[in-house]
Structure 1
Amino acid sequence: METSISRIQRHLEQLAEYTLTPGQGTTRMSYSEQDSQARAYLKQEMTALGLLVREDAIGNIYGRLEGQQPELPAVIIGSHFDSVPNGGAFDGPAGIITGLDVVARLREQNLQPRYPLEVIALVEEEGTSFGRGLMASSVITGLIGSKELHQLKDRQGISAAQRMATVGFNADKAHEAVLKPESVKAFLELHIEQGPVLEQANEDVGIVDTIVGISQLEIKLQGKAGHAGTTPMNMRADALVCASHIISHIPELAKAAGDNTVATVGRLNVMPNGANVIPSEVIFSVDIRSKNDVALRKVIEQVIELTEQESEKFNITSAIAQPLYVKPTVLNSDICELMKQHASAQNLRFRTMVSGAGHDTMIFAGITQTGLIFVPSRNGLSHHPDEWTDYAQIARGVDLMFATVKSLTEC
């Protein structure tokens, strides 16, 4: 019989094959060829476990294990299968594989839950493809819909709606993907920590009770192109010089806000991007995170004010969009306590944690009770080709998830 550890390894190593950048980490954009390859594999494995498989209007995959009382709300377990460019093989897929392994264990032990159990594989979570993190779960919970899917675009200027249409999904039916709160009993997710705390403390799992709030800003500065040699310095409208002044002040705003508030400029596009041309347009992202909603909002306001001031100073036109804002999320205390009880019973070394990264769990918290388990990340690395969590460590996380699922589904 295949062991849990060997199952986890098989699934994760196979999914890692579906990448645009072999040998250089996982690059799997939503609705890409690699997405389709991973999608086919996940549906195949769900079917092999005897799950009823379906895809919703935007491409999220569900595998349903029917409960003894099918009319009861479902416990959903899973995560996402998109990636950042040249990322790791564990961020997201580990949570989906956890769901598959939980079902495999139920099958091995001939257990049938009273409540239905669904394994979900979510599309766009990272925000890499269309500049909007947590996109799929936001559609599922009704936070965004068809309008936004037509507006969100990738770096080639192609909308999310267009991309999904090329592989058979329909953004205009996004409303059909929305889950009714009364149909979901709980959403559970296992994720790699993406930080060094658990490894340094030699602990098996983290039980997350709070996820930081997140804002993503997109700032567009419009100046005027000109010849680098013939345009006097006092007659320029240099969008990049303006951007550099704004960007250089952002870290200090985050530090001053306190409560471990952080801010990151992670994407910067310069046009026309010529060595001898004054930059006419700059678009950059600002990612702001804090467990304190007051601090989060304060930094957002300060970045907007700073942008307006510097733009006026440099004779630049500015536009600011906020494609994502999620306030700090406190996860369900009952599920948190249930996980602690099971972790103690299994003699797992654990701690209660705040997540500095955003996860689909925080979006599902808007419609149902939620729980999130962390497993250690080697050297704290994530969003990197060397991202790694030992398969045995994931299996210990699955042990805790399995016990939690049995309790919630009343096996």
Structure 2
Amino acid sequence: MNDLEITRLESTLEEINKIGASENKGITRLAYTKEHWKANEYFIRKCKEEGMSVRMDPCGNIIARREGREPHLPVVACGSHLDTVQEGGKYDGTLGVVAGLEIIRSLNKKGITTRNPIEIISFACEESARFGVSTIGSKAMAGKISHESLEKLKDKDGISFREALAGVGLDLEGIGAAHRSRNEFKVFFELHIEQGPLLENSSVQVGLATGIAAPTRLEVTIRGKASHSGTTPMNMRKDALIGAAEIITGLEKAALAEQGHGTVATAGVCHVHPGAMNVVPDFVSLKLEIRGTVIQSRQAVLDRLFKLIYELEEQRGLEIATNILSDEDPVILDKHVLSYVSSRCDNLGITYQNMMSGAGHDAMNMAQLCPVGLIFIPSKDGLSHHKDEYSSIEQIAIGVSLLEHVMVQYADTDIEIIGANADTKNVI
């Protein structure tokens, strides 16, 4: 990319990130809020300025299309998302959308046409920050989410998913029409910040994802007996919080035993009742996550956890219940796309490493529709979902340049596509 293009790309990122910016320099564009929709409107306007046709599907996904010389051919697509977490960063998701726009600008400036049409997709509700479910837009596009499950969703203010859709002029009843068929796509790419420290630590310019980890999420409730903290002897207590603490540390030990497979576990939510300094807690609820790319390893952590829970019930006289909230399959990405992108890196002199993605992305749902490539650029200090999230414009430019090269090649040549979908079943 020349200096003019880098300046234009940087300016677009700055403009879109004025939307939802706080005094703390964080960005908040929760899904289907006015801030999210203002960002959508900005993106739509810029795409139309480049001569693209733009439509919004019933889930709120924005599809911007640059026609090809043979419009009937399946599209070469890229994209990500414009919604954010609360007080998030400037690059998570936004980079992948703006990158697509910049590629179209570049092609227009050079007068390049392509055989296949090109689409940029800005997916709705990628973040789970509002409704507790992630990648809703791409799940709807891939036909992986039901009307019934969406009907149950509410945000922290009690606003239902249905009401949120209605607030931006969409109707939950039509959500099924967001589903697209496999024959519409040739390939999909997502450019994203790594959200971790590996690329920066290894001084590599890009990461090429071989697969995407998926979580098992569960709620654990521990019931003990409330009593006076000063008059109840230690050996006569049924302390729900002590039980919760042992579950949390036990979860860590179980994940450490599986770290060779890259499996991780987190206790992210803990609520204690009654929450008084002078009362032994009688109730605790935990929300836990076990995430990995190897199903057997993830299950091993869960098995160790259940064994520990049984032992705690016996030893401490607690009542412990578990509820699996979600159990998603990891995705192994298309090896032929990976091989081709690797070869382009070699040709362009871009250093790269193959890596698994620990975070979920819209790409994992698109892998149900077509072969997918997921490209990472380094994140400073591995930070993401944070106001200090940062990737340099030089790092961004390398990622966008690589994305442009591979998209143009896929859109203008008969690169062989072997296999319609990613492998979602894993063996050790």
TM-score by shorter chain over 0.5: yes
What is aligned with 1:171?
Answer: 172
Task: Give a deviation string over 1:38-81, Cα, whole Å, max 9, x none.
Answer: 12211111222221111111211111112222222112201122
Query: Which stretch shows the higher mean deviation, 19-28 or 255-264?
Result: 19-28
SS at 1:37 equivalent: helix
Deviation at 1:359, TM superposition (A): 1.6
Is it true that 1:73 corresponds to 2:74 in the alignment?
A: yes
Query: Which stretch shows the higher mean deviation, 73-82 or 196-205?
Result: 196-205
Distance in 2 between the 1:168 and 1:221 partners? Answer: 42
What is aligned with 2:328?
Answer: 325
Query: Which stretch shows the higher mean deviation, 101-110 or 151-160?
Result: 151-160
Structure 1 residues not aligned, in runs of 5+: none
AA in 2 matched with 1:21: S
AA in 1 matched with 2:88: G
Distance in 1 between the 2:351 and 2:16 partners? Answer: 29
Task: Give a deviation string over 1:90-113, Cα, whole Å, max 9, x none.
Answer: 111111111111111111111222
Is it true that 1:64 corresponds to 2:43 in the alignment?
A: no
SS at 1:265 equivalent: strand
Is it true that 1:19 corresponds to 2:20 in the alignment?
A: yes
1:238, 1:314 within 8 Å by CA — same for their partners in 2? no
Is it true that 1:338 corresponds to 2:335 in the alignment?
A: no
Distance in 1 between the 2:240 and 2:157 partners? Answer: 22
Task: Give a deviation string over 1:114-158, Cα, whole Å, max 9, x none.
Answer: 111110111222322122223322222112121111123322343
AA in 2 matched with 1:116: P
Identity %: 35
Distance in 2 between the 1:223 and 1:236 partners? Answer: 8
What is aligned with 1:96?
Answer: 97
What is aligned with 1:106?
Answer: 107
What is aligned with 2:287?
Answer: 285
What is aligned with 1:348?
Answer: 350
SS at 1:289 equivalent: strand
AA in 1 matched with 2:62: I
Distance in 2 between the 1:283 and 1:152 partners? Answer: 20
Distance in 2 between the 1:302 and 1:106 partners? Answer: 54
AA in 2 matched with 1:409: A
Task: Give a deviation string over 1:358-400, Cα, whole Å, max 9, x none.
Answer: 2221221122100011111122222221111011211111111
Q: 1:304 to 1:141 in 2, by over 3 A?
A: farther
Query: Which stretch shows the higher mean deviation, 273-282 or 134-143?
Result: 273-282
2:224, 2:281 within 8 Å by CA — same for their partners in 1? yes
Q: Structure 2 matches for 1:236-255, cutoff 5 A?
A: 239-255=240-256
Distance in 2 between the 1:220 and 1:140 partners? Answer: 35
Distance in 2 between the 1:150 and 1:269 partners? Answer: 26
Q: Structure 2 matches for 1:187-198, cutoff 5 A?
A: 187-198=188-199
1:261, 1:289 within 8 Å by CA — same for their partners in 2? yes
Is it true that 1:256 corresponds to 2:257 in the alignment?
A: yes
AA in 1 matched with 2:156: R
Task: Give a deviation string over 1:292-324, Cα, whole Å, max 9, x none.
Answer: 221012223333454455457544352413224
Query: Which stretch shows the higher mean deviation, 181-190 or 127-136?
Result: 127-136
AA in 1 matched with 2:117: P
Task: Give a deviation string over 1:155-207, Cα, whole Å, max 9, x none.
Answer: 23433233222222222222111111111111100011122222233322122
AA in 2 matched with 1:196: P
2:54, 2:64 within 8 Å by CA — same for their partners in 1? yes
AA in 2 matched with 1:333: K
Q: 1:224 to 1:85 in 2, by over 3 A?
A: farther
Deviation at 1:223, TM superposition (A): 6.0
Distance in 2 between the 1:363 and 1:369 partners? Answer: 11
Distance in 2 between the 1:364 and 1:380 partners? Answer: 25
Q: 1:121 to 1:354 in 2, by over 3 A?
A: same
Q: Structure 2 matches for 1:204-223, cutoff 5 A?
A: 204-221=205-222
RMSD between aligned alpha carbons?
2.6
